[in-house]
Structure 1
Amino acid sequence: MPQPRSSMLLLTLLTGLFACSPPNEQPVQVKLRVLETSDLHANMLDFNYYSGQTDPSLGLARTASLIKAARAQVQNSVLVDNGDLIQGSPLGDYIAQRGLAEGEIHPIMLALNTLDYDVATLGNHEFNFGLPFLYQTLAGANFPYTSANIYCAEVQCRPGVKQGEHLYPPYILQQKHVIDTQGQPQQITLGYIGFVPPQILSWDKQHLAGKLRVDSIIDTAKRLVPEMQAAGADVIIAIAHSGLGHTGVEVDPMAENMVYALTQVPGIATVLFGHSHAVFPAAQFQHLPSADITQGLLNGIPAVMPGRWGDHLGMVDLTLQQNAGEWQVVSAQAQTLAVFDNATQQPNVEADAAIVAAVAEAHQGTMAFMQRSIGMASADMYSFLAQIQDDPTVQLVADAQRTRVAELLPPELQDIPLLSAAAPFKAGGKLESSNDAEQYIQVSQGPLSFRNAADLYLYPNTVVAVKLNGAELKDWLECSANQFLQIDLTSTAPQTLINLAHSSYNFDVIDGIHYQIDVSQPSKFNHRCELVNASANRIVDLRYTDASGKVYRDAEFAAKSFIVATNNYRAYTGMFAGTGSDKVVLELPDTNREALVAYIEQQSQYDAASDRYLSAVNPKADHNWRLLPLKSAVQLDLRFKTRDSAAAQQFIQANNYWPMTKLSSDNVGFAEYRLDLQVAAPAN
């Protein structure tokens, strides 16, 4: 088996190093530990603002304890953050809504400043609140930011940054004073280079259009890494807010996920990455070509990705050796450290007091912010079944989006059927940990607060509407249906229904039409909506009924025009059929969460005189979609997992569309159920 390029290069270097070393003279070596946080998403504390309880499985306060312990074990270390820092939890939303006074330091930066970060880069979610807020936030950091592939596109972006210039330094060279293995002082020039997905221009178009330019990650790396070497960088550390990406020879230069390709760029010593919220190295990636999960190597290069929300710390241990005045990596080990032990269900570390103190005031403000009353609900809204059947949490969001778009749709579009697309954002994650088991919406019947609205809609997306035809609409749904694994109608063995490779936030349900999903058929698209089987057909009985009662099916449906209310991320990416900037017909400044709050307040009708709500919002799912009943000569054993709790079991018993039987529970908070699709379905 041929060796990876970097492994062969390392062998050559080592041979040369030892050949050049005088007899009995030990080469100079330095042990350097590189620590990484990524995708903290404003989770500074070990606290769940939706449940109002401490959560020991997440938060920078816990990660900080790992950082301090890891530093104490070695003489030489550096710490970096890989972005998606300021958005993603209610604390981040609270500060963004409240705003920062002139000269005020963002509480998140107050927290990070206690840890003496060496450098950081930007994630895609840094741009969610607009550029002025981003500039003001980053100004409070006592560490520098680098972002190699973002350029200013307007006359002046911020003081000192003009059109055509990098928004933040493309790379940073830092002189690091270290102690070698013989106890002697040495100096190494560390080069840091950061990257962000080019797709930010689509995802946050309302904030960035005409203001920024974002180039290819891989093309930028190939151009700037040699420049960094020429400028004196001894060790180059790539901080890529990007996932693994394609492992083939042909790579789209503008792809979102580029880490595998980055590990093949000569001169990069290690890659610290994130964005996709996974943990690397891990067994799930052992199938990757040229991957060494034991050492944490990709193509011979150490690489690490530390999960999400502070649940892990990334750590790369490098052994550097000097030869003829140059430093080379002669060995490396990449790994992650967890704040919580899922096997024992016990925390590995306690919260760091300095982080807790740094955000104490913001935490109290967030608690008050979340308690603001917005209305009443006539029924429970739980997402325990959101991946199996039509769901009240998704239904409510879809209704709110459609209501808001209907109010502002231009007259020339008002005769076109208006639909709404929404997805279950919280439906158990990857089903791997107690943290995942908590990732369900649990909003009970009765009074609703802003905390509940934030739980129902996690992200600060904005309301956008697209115009498309029925054929495109069907392919949109075909991609969503990739969430289900194909069922073998001849097998009596247990078969899992949910495809965990397809994120639940990409399982769009489109309300206002009727359809069924045939899980016995192959998927037409993969989880990226890339065509894999042109003849596949999972979406069946697709139809639209107009106000007069006329039903559109087949060719009539395919030719008919529709408007779909959705969010800016979905509308502008172009990933799903019928989306993309050329399809957008309405773009609102309202966030989807604001539309949801307005809808709940409107439906609840608060009466100030009596200080009570006169009505309540009804979140009941209309079951406009369902799984197709299956016909088989054998008894099928179809299974799915959801939350294991008394509330979940009661909700499932009261709301299951299909017969469901609880089979077992695991040690991280999930229950496995059997689903019977071989019975007649209730009428729509």
Structure 2
Amino acid sequence: MLNKKLLAVVIAGAMGLTACDSDNDSVVSADINLRVMETTDLHTNMMDYNYYTGSEDKTIGLVRTASLINAARAEVTNSVLVDNGDLLQGSPMGDYIANKFKTESDILTDTHPVYKAMNTLDYEVGNIGNHEFNYGLSFLEQSLDGANFPYINANVICADKDGCWDDVLFNENMFTPYIIKDKVVTDVDGNEHTIKIGYIGFVPPQILQWDKANLEGQVEVLGIVQAANKFVPQMQAEGADIILAIPHSGIGSSENPGDPWAENATYALTNVDGIDAIFFGHSHSVFPSATYSDLPNTDVDKGLLNGVPAVMPGRWGDNLGVVDLVLRQVEDKWTVIHEESTAIARPIYDNTNKVALVDGEDSLRDAIEVEHNGTIEYVSQPIGVAAADMYSFLTLVQDDPTVQIVSNAQIARVEALITDDLKDLPILSASAPFKAGGRYAEGDASQYVQVPAGDLSYKNAADLYLYPNTMVAVKATGAELKDWLECSANQFNQIDPTVSTPQYLINRAGHPTYNFDVIDGLTYNIDVTQPSKFNSSCEVVDADANRIVDLAYTDDEGNVITGDELAAMSFVVASNNYRAFGGSFAGTGSDHVVLELPDTNRDALSAYITDESQPNATGGYDAMVDPSADYNWDFKTIDNATVALDIRFETQDSELADNFVAENQQRKMVKLPTTDDVVSGFAIYSIDLTTPVAPQ
């Protein structure tokens, strides 16, 4: 047999390949185009179905991502498919399977549905995500037994001196740290080659904090970069032609990528010699995208992160990561040509035009039909019980239980997971009313949260938190929070205190309600007689305007902090990925983000409801979740009116709404007679902003 170097020269001569390396004039003997596809953060969203609302959801689901996978494979000659973890938890299907496991003597009696679906798609390898540990090591071990593809992880170590699963000994890797697989590929001239592809995976070290109950005393964790520096040279020594890193980790810091215990360390991995491409996740974001256009040394058009091809395809199957690598063989050595490689995240749904881009694969739907139907039944089970009604009929005119319970849940979740360097800062929450009457002019009166007191289910959680956002916290000063609230206050029209004709309070046409953030943990009033400082995009329209007044923070000792002292303070604000990374509101943007949680806000809400609801042996509850509003915000009483004011707002026209307004109004509200100009389904109320409200 000809040796590889001689064969390369023969092929080069026969095929006329005369390209040269600019540094050493070496002969290029072959070019290979290799497509690597990635799924990540599926969170048991196998089906294109929203179990919270009980309806099809064309924006999620591996059944739809599978169509992209099949299409992407058909476009090229050489391809491989990888998954980056966070499979076993995150949707009601995951909870349903885990609950069955607990009720069936900790035995997983059938293949986990995520693998019933994934086993149809020919994955090369999977990486472990942090949520794989949520239900314990026994559940994880039994679940992985159902996968017909291997798993990798380089930084989770057995800490049990008696040893761990699969005969793993103390201080050894819990999982296979890396795999090098032979792959037969065809070059651009039709010649076959066998290349050795190395795959290495990582998980955030914070699993020891997030799943302490499941992992303490059983595992230890290396830092992500620490593990990479240990194993990548071994992979090179063992003959890996290319090395693909699969970190379940967000981008992280570009300015200080040296933190050995960083949760998000993908940027840091781009500095590890030998890594040819990166397939990451965890943050539920999309890379490449305009979100990261300002990141140093990043090309979002080609998908290069610090010069390395990289992709992060969102979450829940909403995107497929596709990296097209160009491999060049020069004198028996394969090299990834980064500047000729590209990365892209392909979506399953066009969010701009609200159009599904794929139909999905019925073969996957059939594979998990039994579990799907079981999950639908499961979501009807209660997650807790509420002590009071949660209706959003008044959410735009006074503090509101539907926003309050979300804020309470967000604060509780961040308090549980806050890092040591932030734990001394006050924790606040920013939440907005998502269902507050919709587009009034188009007649959307059904769009109010309507969750009555009593038993709560996942469907109720969906009503309370409409969007599939993930939890993110930012660090902001008191001065920034004031401007954050000034932008939110654009929700209201300016009221003229000298006019007696009707004036409508809510600025529906100029400000979406999901941009009306309430910041819990602060107290403040909104002076609607003043002009707005910002428009709905938080662009300054009147720099001298000042709607937010009486802004204060009360510390644990009861000290009330205001003015310059408050402005100079720093706070951690729990919010969602949309708001935190958006950068429009003061105090937001990637440079303010200090905590990215893989949990959805809805999951945090569900967990909070369960934690606060304490059942007793008689079938009742010793404690229930209390959503009562704390009325931390109000309107500044208009004390300079020269005439009787007629200030109005609209809400749902129903007996339910009438009763709720009557029982919960903080300021005097009077339902007005219906006229022809009132949109069907709505009622018009007057609200008295001239009479002071008794202190709460």
Q: Tell me which amino acid in the other structure corresponds to 1:94.
A: Y
Question: Displacement, 1:622?
Answer: 2.5
Look up the match of 1:358.
367
State the number of aligned residues. 532
Q: Tell me which amino acid in the other structure corresponds to 1:392.
A: T
CA 347–320 in structure 1, closer or farther in 2 if over 3 Å, else same: same
For 1:14 and 1:384, locate their aligned partners in 2 and report how far apart those are by CA, in whole Å: 72
Q: Deviations over 1:52-89 (max 9, x none)?
A: 00010111111011111101111111111111111110
For 1:422 and 1:250, locate their aligned partners in 2 and report how far apart those are by CA, in whole Å: 28
Look up the match of 1:263.
270
Look up the match of 1:582.
none
SS in 2 for 1:220: helix
Look up the match of 2:74.
72
Q: Deviations over 1:317-375 (max 9, x none)?
A: 01111112111112201001000011221100012112111211111111111123566
| Superposition map of 1:22-101 within 5 A | 27-99=29-101, 101=107
Look up the match of 1:542.
554
SS in 1 for 2:121: coil
Look up the match of 1:340.
349
Counterpart pick for 1:392 among 402, 405, 427: 402
Contact 1:63–1:312 (8 Å) recurs in 2: yes
Counterpart pick for 1:215 among 222, 241, 247: 222
Q: Tell me which amino acid in the other structure corresponds to 1:76.
A: N
Look up the match of 2:11.
none
For 2:165 and 2:550, locate their aligned partners in 1 and report how far apart those are by CA, in whole Å: 50
368-377 or 271-280, which moves further after superposition?
A: 368-377
Question: Displacement, 1:658?
Answer: 11
For 1:541 and 1:603, locate their aligned partners in 2 and report how far apart those are by CA, in whole Å: 42
Look up the match of 2:153.
147
Question: Displacement, 1:203?
Answer: 1.0
Q: Tell me which amino acid in the other structure corresponds to 1:114.
A: T
Look up the match of 2:291.
284
For 2:129 and 2:483, locate their aligned partners in 1 and report how far apart those are by CA, in whole Å: 30
For 1:328 and 1:93, locate their aligned partners in 2 and report how far apart those are by CA, in whole Å: 44
- RMSD in angstroms over aligned alpha carbons? 5.2
Q: Deviations over 1:437-464 (max 9, x none)?
A: xxx9955337745324654899xxxxxx
Q: Deviations over 1:379-400 (max 9, x none)?
A: 3455996999554364389599
Look up the match of 1:322.
329
SS in 1 for 2:45: coil
Q: Tell me which amino acid in the other structure corresponds to 2:87.
A: L
The alignment status of 1:349 with 2:358, answered yes or no, reads yes
CA 539–276 in structure 1, closer or farther in 2 if over 3 Å, else same: farther
CA 235–400 in structure 1, closer or farther in 2 if over 3 Å, else same: closer
Question: Displacement, 1:212?
Answer: 1.0
Question: Displacement, 1:627?
Answer: 7.3
Q: Deviations over 1:268-297 (max 9, x none)?
A: 111111111111111121111111111000
CA 477–187 in structure 1, closer or farther in 2 if over 3 Å, else same: closer
Question: Displacement, 1:43?
Answer: 0.6
| Superposition map of 1:154-193 within 5 A | 154-155=160-161, 156-193=163-200
Q: Deviations over 1:569-615 (max 9, x none)?
A: xxxxxxx9xx9xxxxxxxxxx9645334546x999969xxxxxxxx9
Q: Tell me which amino acid in the other structure corresponds to 2:298.
A: A
Q: Tell me which amino acid in the other structure corresponds to 2:229.
A: K
Question: Displacement, 1:183?
Answer: 1.5
The alignment status of 1:127 with 2:133, answered yes or no, reads yes
SS in 2 for 1:15: coil
Question: Displacement, 1:481?
Answer: 8.3
Q: Tell me which amino acid in the other structure corresponds to 2:484.
A: L
| Superposition map of 1:298-317 within 5 A | 298-317=305-324
Q: Tell me which amino acid in the other structure corresponds to 2:611.
A: A
The alignment status of 1:379 with 2:381, answered yes or no, reads no
For 1:204 and 1:312, locate their aligned partners in 2 and report how far apart those are by CA, in whole Å: 28
CA 384–554 in structure 1, closer or farther in 2 if over 3 Å, else same: closer
CA 516–265 in structure 1, closer or farther in 2 if over 3 Å, else same: same
CA 253–351 in structure 1, closer or farther in 2 if over 3 Å, else same: same
Contact 1:485–1:499 (8 Å) recurs in 2: no
Question: Displacement, 1:134?
Answer: 1.0
Contact 2:68–2:358 (8 Å) recurs in 1: yes
Look up the match of 2:8.
none
Counterpart pick for 1:111 among 98, 117, 122: 117
Look up the match of 2:301.
294
User: TM-score under structure 1 normalisation?
Assistant: 0.66
CA 222–383 in structure 1, closer or farther in 2 if over 3 Å, else same: farther
Q: Deviations over 1:186-207 (max 9, x none)?
A: 1110011111111111111111
Q: Tell me which amino acid in the other structure corresponds to 1:357.
A: D
Look up the match of 2:415.
none
CA 204–32 in structure 1, closer or farther in 2 if over 3 Å, else same: same
Q: Deviations over 1:242-277 (max 9, x none)?
A: 111111156321111111111121111111111111
CA 478–211 in structure 1, closer or farther in 2 if over 3 Å, else same: farther
Question: Displacement, 1:299?
Answer: 1.6
Question: Displacement, 1:625?
Answer: 2.5
For 1:257 and 1:386, locate their aligned partners in 2 and report how far apart those are by CA, in whole Å: 37
CA 376–227 in structure 1, closer or farther in 2 if over 3 Å, else same: closer
Look up the match of 1:251.
258
Q: Deviations over 1:142-178 (max 9, x none)?
A: 1111111110111222121121011111111111111
For 1:264 and 1:86, locate their aligned partners in 2 and report how far apart those are by CA, in whole Å: 31
SS in 2 for 1:159: helix
359-368 or 98-107, which moves further after superposition?
A: 98-107
Contact 2:380–2:457 (8 Å) recurs in 1: yes
For 1:289 and 1:192, locate their aligned partners in 2 and report how far apart those are by CA, in whole Å: 27
Look up the match of 1:412.
none
Q: Tell me which amino acid in the other structure corresponds to 2:366.
A: A
Contact 1:604–1:616 (8 Å) recurs in 2: no
For 2:290 and 2:88, locate their aligned partners in 1 and report how far apart those are by CA, in whole Å: 30
Look up the match of 1:20.
26
For 1:221 and 1:386, locate their aligned partners in 2 and report how far apart those are by CA, in whole Å: 51
For 1:421 and 1:446, locate their aligned partners in 2 and report how far apart those are by CA, in whole Å: 28
Contact 1:383–1:393 (8 Å) recurs in 2: no
Contact 2:257–2:267 (8 Å) recurs in 1: no
Contact 1:306–1:314 (8 Å) recurs in 2: yes
CA 91–102 in structure 1, closer or farther in 2 if over 3 Å, else same: closer
CA 541–184 in structure 1, closer or farther in 2 if over 3 Å, else same: closer
Contact 2:52–2:460 (8 Å) recurs in 1: no
Contact 2:127–2:202 (8 Å) recurs in 1: yes
User: TM-score under structure 2 normalisation?
Assistant: 0.65
Look up the match of 1:6.
none
Q: Tell me which amino acid in the other structure corresponds to 1:19.
A: D
Structure (1 or 2) with the larger CA radius of gyration? 2
SS in 1 for 2:29: coil
Counterpart pick for 1:234 among 227, 241, 245: 241
CA 344–210 in structure 1, closer or farther in 2 if over 3 Å, else same: same
